Amino acid sequence: MSEELFRMEGICKNFPGVKALDDVSFSVNKGEVHGLVGENGAGKSTLMKIMSGVYKEDSGSIFIEGEEVNINSVAKAQELGIAIIFQELNLCPHLTVANNIYLGRPPLKRYLISDKKMHEDAKSVLDDLGINISTHEIVSNLSVAKQQMVEIAKAISQKSRILVLDEPTAALTEKEIEQLFDIIRNLQKKGVGMVYISHRIEELEEICERVTVLRDGQYIGTRNYKDITVDELVNMIVGRPLEDKYPKKIRNIGEVCFEAKNLSRKGIVNVEKIEVRKGEILGIAGLMGSGRTELARLIFGADKADSKELYMDGKSITVNNPGQAIANGIGYVTEDRKFDGLALDLDVQYNTNMAHLRHISRYGFIDDKEGKRNAQEYKGLLKIKTPSLRQKVRYLSGGNQQKIVLAKWLCNDAKLLIVDEPTRGIDVGAKFEVYELLNRLSDQGVSIIMISSDLPEILGMSDRILVIHEGTINGELDVKKTTQEEILYLAAGYNKMKKKAQWENIF
Restricted to residues 214-233, the positions that interact with other proteins (CB under 8 A) are: 216-217
Distance of closest approach, residue 469 Cβ to other proteins, in angstroms: 25
Strands, E, within 324-457: which ranges?
Answer: 330-333, 361-362, 365-366, 416-420, 447-451
Question: 162 or 348, CB closer to other proteins?
Answer: 348
136 forms part of the interface with other proteins (CB under 8 A):
no
CA distance 420 to 295: 11
Q: Segment contacting other proteins (CB under 8 A): 128-136, 176-184, 425-433, 481-489?
A: 425-433
Question: 332 or 489, CB closer to other proteins?
Answer: 332
Helices (H) and strands (E) in the chain, counts: 17, 24
CA distances from 92 to 102, 141, 169 (A): 11, 12, 21
CA distance 235 to 233: 5
411 forms part of the interface with other proteins (CB under 8 A):
yes
57 forms part of the interface with other proteins (CB under 8 A):
no
Pairing assessment for the beta strands 193-197 and 162-166 based on DSSP bridges: parallel
Question: 89 or 327, CB closer to other proteins?
Answer: 327
368 forms part of the interface with other proteins (CB under 8 A):
yes
Question: 15 or 136, CB closer to other proteins?
Answer: 15
Binding residue count for other proteins, defined by CB under 8 A: 79
Within residues 258-317, the interface with other proteins by CB under 8 A covers: 300, 302
Q: Which of 27, 239, 251, 372 lies at the binding interface for other proteins (CB under 8 A)? A: 239
Q: How many residues does the chain have?
A: 507
Question: 421 or 486, CB closer to other proteins?
Answer: 421
Q: Segment contacting other proteins (CB under 8 A): 62-70, 78-86, 176-184, 379-387?
A: 379-387
Identity of the amino acid at 236: M
CA distance 338 to 402: 10
381 forms part of the interface with other proteins (CB under 8 A):
yes
By rule CB under 8 A, what string of x and - marks binding of each residue 332-361 to other proteins? x-x----xxxxxxxxx--x--xxxxxxx-x
Backbone CA torsion sign across 38, 40, 42, 46: positive
Q: Which of 378, 464, 474, 494 lies at the binding interface for other proteins (CB under 8 A)? A: 378
12 forms part of the interface with other proteins (CB under 8 A):
no
Under a CB-based contact definition with an 8 Å cutoff, are residues 188 and 34 in contact?
Answer: no
Q: Which of 56, 94, 185, 383 lies at the binding interface for other proteins (CB under 8 A)? A: 383
Under a CB-based contact definition with an 8 Å cutoff, are residues 354 and 393 in contact?
Answer: no
Identity of the amino acid at 318: T
Q: Which of 46, 99, 293, 374 lies at the binding interface for other proteins (CB under 8 A)? A: 374
Under a CB-based contact definition with an 8 Å cutoff, are residues 176 and 143 in contact?
Answer: yes
CA distance 347 to 404: 10
Distance of closest approach, residue 369 Cβ to other proteins, in angstroms: 12
Q: Which of 386, 423, 452, 482 lies at the binding interface for other proteins (CB under 8 A)? A: 386
481 forms part of the interface with other proteins (CB under 8 A):
no
Within residues 444-463, the interface with other proteins by CB under 8 A covers: 444-446
Instruction: Give the 3-state secondary structure of residue 193.
Output: strand
Candidates 469, 463, 454, 434; CA nearest to 333 is 434
Q: What is the DSSP letter of 372?
A: H
Distance of closest approach, residue 390 Cβ to other proteins, in angstroms: 5
The count of other CB atoms within 10 Å of the CB of residue 460 is 18
DSSP for 337-350 reads IIIII--TTSBHHH
413 forms part of the interface with other proteins (CB under 8 A):
yes
Q: Which of 24, 125, 274, 325 lies at the binding interface for other proteins (CB under 8 A)? A: 325
Q: Which of 95, 144, 228, 242 lies at the binding interface for other proteins (CB under 8 A)? A: 242
200 forms part of the interface with other proteins (CB under 8 A):
no
